Amino acid sequence: RIMAGDNIEGFDLGSMGGFYTYDEITAVLDTMYAHYPSIITQKVAIGASVQDRSIWMVKISDNPTVNESATEGVVYYDALHHAREPAGMAVTIYYMFWLLENYGIDPHATYLVDNREMYFVPVVNPDGYVYNQQTNPNGGGYWRKNRRNNAGSCYGVDLNRNYSYGYNTGGSSNDPCSETYHGTGPFSEPETQSVRDLILTIHPAIGFSTHSVAGTYLNPYGYTSISPEYDIYSEFASDFATANGYLYGRTSEMLGYTSSGTTRDYLHSEGTYAWTPEIGGSDFWPFISEIMPLVSENLYPMQYLSWVSGAFADFQNYQILGSGYAEAGDTLDLMITVKNRGLSLPANNVLVEVSTDYPHALPVVESVSYDTISARELKDNSLNPFRFALDNSAAFLDEIPFYISISQDGVVTVRDTIHCTVARATVIFQDNAEDGTFSWTASGTAAMWDTTFVDYYNGAHSFADSRYGSSPNNASAYFRLNQTINLTEALHPRLEFWAKWAIEDGYDYARLQISTNNGSTWTTLAGSYTHIVAGQPSYSAIQHWVKESIDLSAYSGSNVQFRFFFDSDGGLNGDGFYFDEFKVVDYSQTPVGIGGDQPLAPQRLELYQNYPNPFNPVTTIAYQLPLRYQGEKVRLQIFNSLGQRVRTLVNGVQNPGTHEVRWDGTNDAGLVLSSGIYLYKLTAGNMSLTRKMLLIK
């Protein structure tokens, strides 16, 4: 993923414990406008505080005084609802400097300024912030609320409990002296009224209301159940939080208490996807030496929000078409699926380029136009795959790197790298989570393993330790594959799967284990992305979707079983562990004929997974016939979920070798079939193989 260098000069340390004072922030906004008047507005007071201080807002865009929200994504950022949390303000201003100083220099900053409307309110609570300056001019003031004069000697309303959605439903206080006092009613305070009025005017697609100091991202809701849009929150946060390692979840899961009447929940109720980033650090007023690392590690999440407010063409997955593998002398066809993760606008002029520096792969098709991808939609190139010809010098088990570049409107949004193994791949077992958990058994304490639609690498489901929302506390949960895997004839077996996780690092973990004695004892397997937690290789911390490929050669000749194990304590409970496309593969070489240049016929009957899958409107089914079925009738048939045959694609004698058949989702009468799961069955002689596929209209 692209993370541009910071390249920022204007941002500096302030005079209050290293942070800007309110007056210094005001001066910074004036300086920004003086230096970059064409891409930032003059500061505008969206309201005044209880003590009549201005609540400043600026907008950064290519035409900052013009409303272009019909064609540009709108994103909102604020900070300092709580007066003792200046790190959020520093992160916000740091991002503003990055946009302004890199416009016309960095292609990503330039694209965002030209194609987004970005609104910034760096100080929502000026009175409380100035009060901290008055009491602790060198930093360290712990005043939290605004400076409303309540009855008696108590001051202040917690502005992050004063919004209307969920107001006074738990997680706030009726006591005017309490730090979480919610005020006399929703929007009783001019500061929250000002934010409300701005939000109702600009209608942002997404936003951050930034706080500190927990080092987490809080998503809705703060006082009750998970929001119905948790899948979007998980997808985005698991991606942008890899920059700083912050976990994400609800307030109760991340901080151990509830909150109501918050900015985040109000924004969500108005149709804005919103988080409360809790910037990390040693304290509300961290050491000065911490400030620059903190603002830098939070730059990418700020950028990410701007991207997904409009259009954002991103890598989703890949697949080797046909047989699913490539050997020396083969032509490798590669399908790349791209997702527009953006919330509101189509990604236009999407171009995907694939290259390699592997000397034995000659590019035939290395650039494909995906044209336009609608918001939140997927598109692949199954009808025009990337193509590379492998020469005869491609060595068995070589890993070929393919470098993927995805751009929209001429600007590269994502770079990624995938690897393909030079070998014949025989799938011994696979499960893509589309058929439920019938191949697995969940057990243990707080066992919640299941399939989930929240996020997935391919298809429409993955497996997860918690189906919807964060993992449970105090879990010791197993997810065991029911089938014993026969590796007695395997030559170069590997276990491969895709995974993502968000787990409290060093305390909670997921592990993958193997047994050779029917589960009497288990050994934890180390992967490319494990690290040692509690003495064993574990998946912990946070990671977006990656491919694990674990060499099982040490277990060749054995029958083995697999299980995942998830363990958590009573502390933070993150989003947990997801895995998809789980398969055991044996890599081998196709035997060569006596002449040394002609491959022999396939040695076994094989039916491959259709591609693309899910599909609409056309998919390809590949299979191979060994020599022993020469002269035998071959049938390839499609059945619906009730077991009724709906289409016969092949019914006759075929030569040995690999065959491909396309199906357009129609029955034998030519009628278009409805969406759903379909079975395709290959029969040759007295043998048959069956797989499932998903048709989506």
Each residue's pLDDT tens digit, 216-261:
999 999 987 889 999 999 999 999 999 999 999 999 999 999 999 9
- 270 and 200 Cβ atoms separated by less than 8 Å: yes
In this prediction, residues 667-695 reach a mean pLDDT of 91
Please check whether residues 203 and 138 belong to one and the same domain.
yes
What is the predicted pLDDT for the residue at 399? 96
**Position 545 in a domain:** yes
Could you tell me the sign of the dihedral formed by the alpha carbons of 280, 285, 291, 295, in that order?
positive
Any idea which residues carry the catalytic annotation? 278
**Residue 599 predicted with pLDDT over 50:** no
In this prediction, residues 327-352 reach a mean pLDDT of 97
In this prediction, residues 83-97 reach a mean pLDDT of 99
Please check whether residues 361 and 484 belong to one and the same domain.
no
Residue 335: CB atoms within 10 A of its CB come to 19
**Position 8 in a domain:** no
**Position 17 in a domain:** no
In whole angstroms, give the CA distance from residue 531 to residue 130: 45
Please check whether residues 300 and 319 belong to one and the same domain.
no
> Secondary structure of 170-188 in the HEC alphabet?
CCCECCCCCCCECCCCCCC
What is the predicted pLDDT for the residue at 687? 81
DSSP state of 610: P
Please check whether residues 458 and 498 belong to one and the same domain.
yes
Please check whether residues 227 and 126 belong to one and the same domain.
yes
- 342 and 308 Cβ atoms separated by less than 8 Å: yes
Please check whether residues 394 and 376 belong to one and the same domain.
yes
- 634 and 664 Cβ atoms separated by less than 8 Å: no
Q: What is the CATH number of the domain that holds 491?
A: 2.60.120.260
What is the predicted pLDDT for the residue at 3? 34
Please check whether residues 411 and 444 belong to one and the same domain.
no
**Residue 618 predicted with pLDDT over 70:** yes
What is the predicted pLDDT for the residue at 602? 61
Question: At which of 309, 336, 367 does a domain end?
Answer: 309
Question: At which of 268, 285, 309 does a domain end?
Answer: 309
126: left (phi over 0), alpha (psi -120 to 50) or beta: alpha
181-221 pLDDT, tens digit each: 999 999 999 999 999 999 999 999 999 999 999 999 999 99
Please check whether residues 104 and 132 belong to one and the same domain.
yes
**Position 446 in a domain:** yes
What is the predicted pLDDT for the residue at 624? 86
Confidence of residue 1 (pLDDT cuts 50, 70, 90): very low
Q: What is the CATH number of the domain that holds 341?
A: 2.60.40.10
In whole angstroms, give the CA distance from residue 428 to residue 559: 12
Confidence of residue 612 (pLDDT cuts 50, 70, 90): confident
Rounded to 5°, angle at Cα 379 from 374 and 384: 135
What is the predicted pLDDT for the residue at 2? 35
- 281 and 212 Cβ atoms separated by less than 8 Å: yes
Q: What is the CATH number of the domain that holds 631?
A: 2.60.40.4070
In this prediction, residues 263-271 reach a mean pLDDT of 98
Of all residues in the chain, the percent with pLDDT exceeding 70 is 97
**Position 498 in a domain:** yes
**Position 14 in a domain:** no
Please check whether residues 486 and 551 belong to one and the same domain.
yes
What is the predicted pLDDT for the residue at 202? 99
**Residue 69 predicted with pLDDT over 50:** yes
- With CA atoms as reference, report the closest residue to 77 among 60, 101, 65, 100: 60
**Position 16 in a domain:** no
What is the predicted pLDDT for the residue at 443? 97
Please check whether residues 273 and 258 belong to one and the same domain.
yes
Q: Model-level pTM?
A: 0.86
Question: At which of 281, 309, 337 does a domain end?
Answer: 309
Domain with 470, as residue range(s), is: 427-588
What is the predicted pLDDT for the residue at 625? 87
Please check whether residues 611 and 478 belong to one and the same domain.
no
Please check whether residues 372 and 304 belong to one and the same domain.
no
What is the predicted pLDDT for the residue at 601? 53
**Residue 594 predicted with pLDDT over 60:** no
In this prediction, residues 323-332 reach a mean pLDDT of 92
What is the predicted pLDDT for the residue at 597? 46
In whole angstroms, give the CA distance from residue 60 to residue 56: 13
What is the predicted pLDDT for the residue at 630? 79
**Position 218 in a domain:** yes
**Residue 657 predicted with pLDDT over 90:** no
The total number of structural domains in the chain stands at 4
**Highest mean pLDDT of the ranges 510-519, 670-679, 683-692:** 510-519
Give the DSSP per-residue string, 386-453: EEEEE-TTPPTT-EEEEEEEEEETTEEEEEEEEEEEBBEEEEEEEE-STTTTTTEEEEEET---EEES
